[in-house]
């Protein structure tokens, strides 16, 4: 430790030379060790069959709930649901959690979060990868579930270089076709949609030669099968990661935050491009997952963002898994 | 890195001398990914209560086949049904241990100590992680000013000692509940205690406190044991069991110790009596009183036997309660 703490001043550590300071110190000033002021690294490991998976926190964002955050209900109702879920009054917290899958033959990152510094309380993916001892250069494949900013922007570093220089980037073919279509962009009606079209191109156009398109119903990597979960975006994809008898469903954005949209699956989050289809996908996905008691990794669940989903009234409830202190 | 990974072999990043290794190794057709890490993230989690910084430091998890009387007033089948409802394995009890460190600004305080470093080797690393995770959290145990003990069960006090039976917190004062000390250090009480588990509890706590020369400071319920930390009598689990409210500004958290044991049994079913509850009826009465208060005040509870990080809100649900884990905050 290089910093001279009040503890070392008052203790013996700083030596006799500090004796002169002592009379000036009020007796109540004896301080504890300084606060750390920093959260633990946000990564969590678990096994799925022979595969080792690591949930990586990219951080979260808490902000006043925007008007229209839930399109088809009064704002008061959405605010009440957030408050019932112990969020700060009037605010909404949305976490972001990419996943690393080590299949033994490939090191695969599913979704990327934001680049460092892009958002004050997010953009932690690369730092947490480092804390987990995962070298960004060792990532063989980056699989994108869909092309929204919180999933793709971390493909780049803060200065615009490729964050995973040796990785093949895999994008769902229907999403690539949708967002890269000039015709679709010209028809974008809202600022949000215009922003998404611009962002997709800004992040991916100049690395398009690194991007491979993948199809649903096929393996995108060994043991990782792409599942049509469209509605949120035209090419929105969930994944089944399976090894031996183990399996986890990486749901991506089948729901946004569970406190609102898992409990109320008919609510339309502002980001769902085809909300009715998103609702149908959501119900089908969770009815199946609940029946199978399937483990689910949710990009917008609270870290470590793993849980089971069960039916509860007209909606569903997330039961987070208990942290396993050993692997 | 000292171990030769398949990646090294395949990519040729190993020097020529590895040629003989290559010849002797069966290489799978696919290029290998980076080797698996094979170990969990360090188990600590920080949050603020007003100006106070709390670090939950996990001691790990003990997983064992439970005895028929694990819940004294419920059958194995009923316990298994509750486990299934919570996505736990049949016939196995999964018990986490989560001590906390409270930095009040003027004092660095540990509340409960886990199962001990010695247990780390015994449990093959599953438990006894507290001291390792303290170090991972950057907390120097020699900087701890106070250790506050909630009650005298082994998973709360054994971590006071190093494997060679020295005080693990060399510069700390040890605070113990006065009622607990009076009861458990009474030789008459020990002589009247039933054989088996209760005798083991008495023997173990005397082993620990005798190693410390019985140098402890008893504290009374209802008093501040450290700035911002108030002891609350929550008897039943043991006669002198205490919980602690940590408060700063308008924030507070209820550090419950063992008001409930694991939540998926005893928060959901407050009328179930864990075999660890010395007076099951009194423990239940205490539990209902505390949980009714937590639910009414929407106060956060920090549970020693809740899954790490052990921080939750409590809501009434049916005839019992349901814990709502506080979402992990990636920044503080």
CATH code of the domain containing B147:
3.60.15.10
What is the three-class DSSP state of B144?
coil
B28 and B116: one domain? no
Of B31, B45, B327, the CB nearest to A95: B327
Chain A residues in contact with B87 (beta carbon < 8 A): 293, 308, 319, 321
Residue A327: inside a domain: no
To the nearest whole Å, the CA of A135 is away from the closest chain B CA by 9
In a domain, B330, yes or no: no
- Nearest-CA distance from B184 to chain A in Å? 32
CB contacts of B53 in chain A (<8 Å) are 35-37
Q: Do A304 and B45 touch (CB under 8 A)?
A: no
Name which of A11, A29, A35, A86 to mutate to probe chain B: the one with the most chain B Cβ atoms within 10 A of its Cβ. A35
The answer on B14 and B102 residing in a single domain is: no
Tens digit of pLDDT for each residue in B269-286? 999 999 999 999 999 999
Asked if A21 and A140 sit in the same domain, the reply is no
Nearest to A140 among B33, B38, B107 (CB): B33
Residues A156 and A73 both lie in one domain: yes
- Nearest Cα of chain A lies from the Cα of B168 at a distance, in angstroms, of 17
pLDDT of residue B31: 62
> Does B31 lie in the same domain as B99?
no
Q: Are residues B29 and B66 in the same domain?
A: no
Q: pLDDT tens digits for A82-120?
A: 999 999 999 999 999 999 999 999 999 999 999 999 888
CA distance A203 to chain B (A): 25
Q: Which residues in chain A have Cβ-Cβ distances shorter than 8 Å to B309?
A: 323
User: DSSP class of residue B220?
Assistant: -
Q: Looking at the complex, report in whole angstroms how far the Cα of residue A323 sits from the nearest Cα belonging to chain B.
A: 6
**Chain B residues inside the 8 Å CB shell of A41:** 41-42
**Which chain B residue lies closest to A300 (C-alpha atoms)?**
B327
CB B300 within 8 A of CB B311: yes
C-beta atoms of B106 and A31 within 8 A: yes
Task: Choose among B41, B309, B331: nearest Cβ to A132.
Answer: B41
Is residue B235 in some structural domain?
yes
Strand partners, A284: none
Report CB contact under 8 Å: A42, B330: yes
The CA distance from B27 to the nearest CA of chain A, in Å, is 11
Among B7, B33, B226, B297, which would you mutate to test the A interface (most chain A Cβ atoms within 10 Å of its Cβ)?
B33
What range does the domain containing B27 cover?
A: 1-38
Cα A269 to Cα A150: distance, rounded to the nearest angstrom: 15
Could you report the per-residue pLDDT of B117-162, keeping only the tens digit for each? 999 999 999 999 999 999 999 999 999 999 999 999 999 999 999 9
Instruction: Tell me how many domains chain A contains.
Output: 2
Nearest CA in chain B to A29: B106
In a domain, A120, yes or no: yes
Q: Which chain A residue has the Cα nearest residue B262?
A: A322
Give the chain B residue whose CA is nearest to the CA of A83: B298
Query: How far, CA to CA in Å, does A86 sit from each of A164, A186, A302?
Result: 37, 41, 13
Residue A3 pLDDT exceeds 60 = no
Q: Are strands A99-102 and A51-56 parallel, antiparallel or unpaired?
A: antiparallel
Residue numbers in B near A106 (CB within 8 A): 30, 33
Question: B7 and B115 in one domain?
Answer: no
Whether B22 is covered by a domain: the verdict is yes
Confidence class for position B12, pLDDT limits 50, 70, 90: very low
Same domain, A18 and A160: no
Tens-digit pLDDT profile for residues B78-115: 999 999 999 999 999 999 999 999 999 999 999 999 99
**How many whole angstroms from its chain centre is CA A14?**
45
Alpha helix (H) ranges present in B212-331?
A: 263-266, 280-297
Contacts of B107 in chain A (CB under 8 A): 32
Based on the fold, state whether residues B7 and B59 are members of the same structural domain.
no
What is the band of A31 on the pLDDT scale with cuts at 50, 70, 90?
low
Within this chain, do residues A65 and A105 fall inside the same structural domain, yes or no?
yes
% of chain A exceeding 90 in pLDDT: 89
* CATH code of the domain containing A113: 3.60.15.10
Q: How many CB pairs under 8 A join A and B?
A: 155
Q: Which residue of B has its CA nearest to A129?
A: B41
Q: Residues of B with CB below 8 A from A131's CB? A: 41
Q: In what order do the strands lie in the sheet with A211-214?
A: A43-48, A51-56, A99-102, A107-110, A141-143, A168-172, A211-214
Write the pLDDT tens digit of every residue in A201-213.
999 999 999 999 9
DSSP type of residue A307: E
Q: State the smallest CA–CA distance between residue B6 and chain A in angstroms.
A: 9
Q: Are residues B2 and B114 in the same domain?
A: no
Average pLDDT, chain A: 92
The reply to whether residue B38 touches residue A324, judged by beta carbons under 8 angstroms, is no
- pLDDT above 50 for B16: no
Contacts of A7 in chain B (CB under 8 A): 143
A76 and A206 together in one domain: yes
Q: Are residues B295 and B221 in the same domain?
A: yes
This prediction's pTM? 0.90
Query: Is the domain of B27 the same as that of B49?
Result: no
B54 and B75 fall within a common domain:
yes
Task: Say whether both A24 and A158 belong to one domain.
Answer: no
Q: Give the Cα separation of A165 and A140 in Å (integer).
A: 9
Please, which residues bridge with residue B217 across strands?
A: B175
Nearest residue in chain B measured CA to CA from A6: B106
The closest alpha carbon to A143, from A164, A128, A114, A119, belongs to A164
Q: Does residue A325 fall inside a structural domain?
A: no
Residue A260 CB-density burial (10 A; 0-12 exposed, 13-18 middle, 19+ buried)? buried
pLDDT at A242 over 70: yes
DSSP three-state, residue A308: strand
Residues B229, B154, single domain; the answer is yes
| Tokens of residue B137, six digits | 């959290």
DSSP 3-state percent helix, strand, coil across chain B (nearest 5): 30, 25, 45
Put simply, the answer to whether A33 touches B103 (Cβ < 8 Å) is yes
Name which of A95, A320, A322 is nearest B330 (Cβ-Cβ): A95
Same domain (yes/no): A59, A27? no
Give A-chain residues touching B102 at CB under 8 angstroms. none
Residue B161 lies in a domain: yes
Give chain B's domain count.
2
In a domain, B124, yes or no: yes
Give the pLDDT score at B28. 43
In three-state secondary structure terms, A197 is helix
- Is the pLDDT at A5 greater than 60? The verdict is no
Q: Which residue has the tokens 């600004």?
A: B105
Q: What is the pLDDT of residue B272?
A: 98
Is residue A68 located within the same domain as residue A151?
yes
Report chain A residues whose CB lies below 8 A from the CB of B127: 325
CB contact under 8 A, A325 and B43: yes
CB contacts of A44 in chain B (<8 Å) are 40-41
Q: Which residues of B touch A30 (CB under 8 A)?
A: 106
Considering the domain boundaries, does residue B332 fall inside one? no
Tens of pLDDT along A156-203?
Answer: 999 999 999 999 999 999 999 999 999 999 999 999 999 999 999 999
Asked whether residue A20 is domain-assigned, the answer is yes
Is residue B4 assigned to a domain? yes
Write out the two tokens for B299. Answer: 């106060």
In a domain, B99, yes or no: yes
Give pLDDT tens digits for B71-81.
999 999 999 99
Is there a single domain that holds both residue A16 and residue A133?
no
**Distance between A249 CA and the closest CA of chain B, angstroms:** 16
Instruction: Give yes or no: residues A163 and A277 share one domain.
Output: yes
Query: What residue numbers bound the domain in which A6 lies?
Result: 1-36
Q: Which helix (H) or strand (E) holds A82?
A: helix A75-84
**Domain co-membership, B106 together with B222:** yes
Looking at the fold, whether A27 and A51 belong to one and the same domain comes out as no
Residues in B touching A58 (Cβ below 8 Å): 330
What is residue A14's predicted lDDT score, i.e. its pLDDT?
37
Instruction: Summarize the confidence of residues B213-227 as an average pLDDT.
Output: 98
Please report whether residue A326 resides in a domain.
no
Nearest-angstrom CA–CA distance, B321 and B266: 9
Hey, how many other C-beta atoms are within 10 angstroms of the C-beta on A181?
12
Q: Do A44 and B40 touch (CB under 8 A)?
A: yes
Question: Which pLDDT value is given to residue B10?
Answer: 33
Q: Cα separations (Å) of B114 from B59, B156, B246? A: 6, 5, 20
Residues A102, B34: C-beta atoms closer than 8 Å: yes
Chain A: give the shortest CA distance to residue B61, in Å. 6
Question: Do residue A58 and residue A99 come from a single domain?
Answer: yes
């Amino acid at each position: 430790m290089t910093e001279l703490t009040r503890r070392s001043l008052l203790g013996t550590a700083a030596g006799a030379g500090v004796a002169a300071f002592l009379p000036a110190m009020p007796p109540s000033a004896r301080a504890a060790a300084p606060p750390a002021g920093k959260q633990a690294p946000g990564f969590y490991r678990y096994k799925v069959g022979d595969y080792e998976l690591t949930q990586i926190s990219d951080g979260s964002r808490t902000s006043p709930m925007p008007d229209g955050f839930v399109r088809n209900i009064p704002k008061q109702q959405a605010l009440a649901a957030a408050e019932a879920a112990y969020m700060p009054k009037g605010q909404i917290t949305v976490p972001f959690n990419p996943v690393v899958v080590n299949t033994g033959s490939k090191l695969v990152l599913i979704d990327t979060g934001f680049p460092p510094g892009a958002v004050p309380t997010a953009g932690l993916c690369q730092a947490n990868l480092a804390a987990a001892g995962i070298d960004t250069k060792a990532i063989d494949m980056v699989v994108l579930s869909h092309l929204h900013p919180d999933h793709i922007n971390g493909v780049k570093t803060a200065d615009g270089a490729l964050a995973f220089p040796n990785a093949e980037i895999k994008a769902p073919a229907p999403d690539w076709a949708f967002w890269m279509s000039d015709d679709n962009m010209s028809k974008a009606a809202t600022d949000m949609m215009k922003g998404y079209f611009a962002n997709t191109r800004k992040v991916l156009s100049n690395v398009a030669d690194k991007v491979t398109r993948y199809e649903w119903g096929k393996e995108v990597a060994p043991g990782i099968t792409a599942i049509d979960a469209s509605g949120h975006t035209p090419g929105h994809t969930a994944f089944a990661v399976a090894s031996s008898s183990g399996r986890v469903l990486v749901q991506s954005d089948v729901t946004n935050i569970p406190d609102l949209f898992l409990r109320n699956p008919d609510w339309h989050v502002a980001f769902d491009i085809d909300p009715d289809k998103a609702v149908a996908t959501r119900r089908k996905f969770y009815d199946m997952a609940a029946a199978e008691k399937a483990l689910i990794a949710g990009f917008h669940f609270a870290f470590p963002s793993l849980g089971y989903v069960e039916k509860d009234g007209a909606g569903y409830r997330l039961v987070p898994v208990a942290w396993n202190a050993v692997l | 890195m000292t171990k030769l990974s398949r990646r090294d072999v395949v990519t040729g990043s190993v020097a020529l001398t590895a040629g003989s290794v290559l010849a002797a190794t069966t290489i799978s057709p696919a290029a290998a990914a980076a080797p698996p890490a094979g170990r969990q993230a360090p188990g600590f989690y920080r949050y603020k209560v007003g100006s106070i910084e709390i670090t939950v430091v996990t001691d790990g998890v003990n997983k064992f086949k439970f005895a028929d009387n694990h819940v004294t007033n419920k059958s194995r089948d009923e316990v298994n049904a509750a486990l299934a409802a919570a996505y736990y394995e049949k016939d196995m009890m999964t018990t986490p241990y989560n001590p906390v460190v409270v930095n009040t600004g003027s004092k660095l305080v540990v509340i409960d100590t886990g199962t001990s470093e010695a247990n780390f080797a015994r449990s093959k690393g599953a438990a006894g992680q507290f001291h390792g995770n303290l170090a991972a959290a950057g907390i120097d145990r020699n900087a701890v000013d106070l250790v506050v003990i909630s009650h005298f069960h082994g998973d709360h006090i054994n971590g006071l000692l190093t494997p060679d039976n020295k005080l693990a917190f060399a510069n700390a004062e040890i605070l113990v509940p006065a009622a607990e000390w009076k009861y458990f250090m009474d030789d008459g009480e020990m002589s009247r205690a039933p054989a088996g588990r209760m005798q083991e509890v008495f023997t173990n706590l005397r082993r620990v406190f005798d190693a410390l020369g019985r140098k402890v400071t008893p504290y009374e319920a209802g008093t501040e044991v450290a700035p911002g930390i108030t002891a609350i009598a929550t008897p039943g689990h043991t006669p002198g069991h205490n919980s602690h409210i940590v408060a700063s500004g308008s924030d507070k958290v209820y550090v419950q110790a063992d008001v409930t044991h694991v939540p998926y049994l005893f928060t959901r079913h407050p009328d179930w009596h864990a075999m660890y509850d010395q007076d099951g009826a009194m423990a239940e009465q205490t539990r209902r009183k505390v949980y009714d208060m937590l639910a009414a005040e929407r106060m956060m509870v920090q549970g020693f036997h809740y899954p790490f990080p052990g921080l939750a809100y409590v809501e009434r649900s049916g005839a019992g309660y349901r814990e709502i884990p506080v979402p992990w905050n990636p920044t503080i």
